[in-house]
């Protein structure tokens, strides 16, 4: 291959300098993670949403230092509007709403991340088995998935929560075990496509075990839709937890869940609207942040995006 240098002279074929230039160009290719981050930074909405999530995580970790009161601490001021002493006002029994919203971020993020992790683990395992092995394993897994998809998962979650109670642990288990179906279908579809690729056939011909082929060869190439869906699913889990708490089958008072605070504030909309607006605003901003980050990751991880 001939390469034209800045002086306008063309090295002869086989010139070592030309080969060196080609090798240098190949070595200058950016790593994938840097390329993904470069594309992600172009999406300003996703970047702002990521900053908000980082801020929310910091608030959740340092909630005892940020909140001026305990989330269950009673003050002499009941149903007081926002003021310098109580930034978000107080509820009907005198608890500081700012402190409860701050502690509520810890509850929502904990449930959202852990329940999503449980859901992704179940869906990943079932989808990988169904897509890789096919046959009767695929048939049974697909039929079980169809049965669960036929039942509205919020109704199923409410029924289970009504039986097992509303602690944070039970809510995590309930949501995690009732929202894995979409993950299963996504992973199954990815495995059905990827297992036909030449590198999988080569790994099989070399005698690699099925476990190694699944986790070392196929799974890394199927991570793009899984990462995107996992990010967005955190928003769905947070909404589900809020819905369960709003309906009275989620976490119980005095735990500062945003959905529970919204349920308690809906009857005070006229005399004390701050009881509804502040926890609802925190819930909406958090859900939107995870959705925007998920959209940004989808575009950044897409190799067809320029």
Question: What CATH number did the domain enclosing 292 receive?
Answer: 1.10.3720.10
Same domain, 111 and 176: yes
Which pLDDT does position 1 carry in this prediction?
Answer: 43
Tokens 């172009």 — which residue?
A: 42
Q: In terms of residue numbers, what domain contains 147? A: 32-301
- Across 1-10, 175-184, 206-215, 267-276, least confident range: 1-10
In a domain, 102, yes or no: yes
pLDDT band of residue 290 (cuts 50, 70, 90) is: very high
* Residues 89 and 145 both lie in one domain: yes
Query: In which band, very low, low, confident or very high, does the pLDDT at 270 lie, cut at 50, 70 and 90?
Result: confident
Same domain membership, residue 21 and residue 38: no
Are 24 and 43 found together in one domain? no
Kindly state whether residues 19 and 153 are assigned to the same domain: no
Residues 241 and 268 grouped into a single domain: yes
Cβ atoms within 10 A of the Cβ of 164, count? 14
Instruction: Specify if 306 maps to a domain.
Output: no
How does pLDDT run across 121-169, given as a tens digit for each residue? Answer: 999 999 999 988 888 999 999 999 999 888 887 788 888 877 777 778 8
Give one DSSP letter per residue of the chain, joined into a string.
Answer: -----TTS--PPTT-HHHHHHHHHHHHTPPPHHHHHHHHHHH-HHHHHHHHHHHHHHHHHHTHHHH-SS-TT-B-S--SPPP-SSSTT-B-TTSBBHHHHHHHHHHHHHHHHHHHHHHHHHHHHHHHHHHHHH-HHHHHHHHHHHHHHHHS-HHHHHHHHHHHH---HHHHHHHHHTTS-HHHHHHHHHHHHHHTTSHHHHHHHHTT--HHHIIIIIIGGGGHHHHHHHHHHHHHHHHHHHHHHHHTTSSSPTTS--HHHHHHHHGGGTTT-THHHHHHHHHHHHHHHHHHHHHHHHHHHH-TT--
DSSP 8-state symbol, 31:
P
Question: What pLDDT, on a 0 to 100 scale, did the predictor assign at position 7?
Answer: 46
Q: What is the pLDDT of residues 6-29, one digit of tens each?
A: 444 444 444 544 444 444 444 445
Residues 207 and 263 in one domain: yes
Q: Is 133 domain-assigned?
A: yes
pLDDT band at 303 (very low <50, low <70, confident <90, very high): low
Q: Point out which residues pair with 90 in neighbouring strands.
A: 96
Report the range of poorest mean pLDDT among 18-22, 78-82, 197-201, 221-225. Answer: 18-22
In the block, residue with structure tokens 């909404």: 239
Residues 26 and 36 in one domain: no
Q: What pLDDT does residue 119 have?
A: 93
Residue 25 and residue 65 in one domain: no
Output the pLDDT for position 305.
55
* Helix or strand (DSSP H, E) at 124: helix 97-133
| pLDDT value at residue 92 | 86
Please indicate, yes or no, whether residues 56 and 17 belong to a single structural domain of this protein: no
Residue 155: per-residue pLDDT: 82
What is the predicted pLDDT for the residue at 200?
Answer: 84
What pLDDT is recorded for position 178?
87
Looking at residue 198, its pLDDT comes to 86
pLDDT at 302 over 50: yes
Whether 41 has a pLDDT exceeding 90, the answer reads no
* pLDDT score of 304 more than 80: no
| Beta-bridge partners for 14 | none
Residue 249, φ and ψ in degrees, nearest 5: -115, 10
- What is the average pLDDT score of the chain? 83
Is position 243 within any domain?
yes
- Asked whether residue 91 falls in the same domain as residue 199, the answer is yes
Residue 153 and residue 23 share a domain: no
Across the range 271-278, mean pLDDT stands at 88
Residue 127 lies in a domain: yes
Q: Total domain count for the chain?
A: 2
């Amino acid at each position: 291959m001939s390469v034209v240098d800045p002086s306008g002279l063309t090295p002869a074929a086989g010139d070592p300098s030309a080969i060196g230039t080609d090798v240098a160009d190949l070595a200058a290719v950016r790593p994938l993670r840097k390329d993904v981050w470069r594309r992600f930074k172009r999406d300003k909405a996703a970047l702002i949403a990521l900053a908000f999530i980082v801020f929310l995580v910091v608030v959740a970790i340092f909630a005892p230092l940020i909140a001026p009161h305990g989330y269950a601490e009673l003050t002499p001021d009941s149903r007081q509007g926002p003021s310098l002493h109580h930034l978000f006002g107080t509820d009907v029994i005198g608890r500081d709403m700012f402190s409860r919203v701050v502690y509520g971020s810890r509850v929502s993020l904990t449930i959202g991340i852990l329940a999503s992790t449980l859901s992704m683990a179940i869906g990943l395992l079932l989808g990988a088995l169904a897509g890789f092995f096919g046959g009767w394993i695929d048939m049974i897994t697909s039929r079980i998935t169809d049965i669960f998809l036929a039942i509205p998962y919020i109704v199923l979650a409410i029924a289970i929560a009504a039986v097992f109670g509303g602690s944070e642990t039970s809510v995590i288990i309930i949501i995690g075990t009732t929202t894995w179906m979409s993950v299963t279908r996504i992973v199954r579809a990815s495995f059905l496509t990827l297992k036909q690729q030449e590198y999988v056939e080569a790994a099989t011909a070399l005698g690699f075990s099925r476990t190694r082929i699944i986790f070392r060869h196929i799974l890394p190439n199927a991570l793009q839709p899984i990462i995107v869906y996992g990010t967005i699913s955190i928003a769905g889990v947070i909404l589900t937890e809020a819905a369960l708490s709003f309906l009275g089958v989620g976490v119980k008072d005095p735990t500062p869940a945003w959905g529970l605070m919204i349920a308690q504030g809906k009857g005070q909309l006229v005399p004390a609207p701050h009881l509804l607006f502040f926890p609802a605003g925190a819930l909406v901003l958090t859900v939107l942040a995870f959705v925007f980050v998920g959209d940004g990751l989808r575009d950044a991880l897409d190799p067809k995006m320029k």
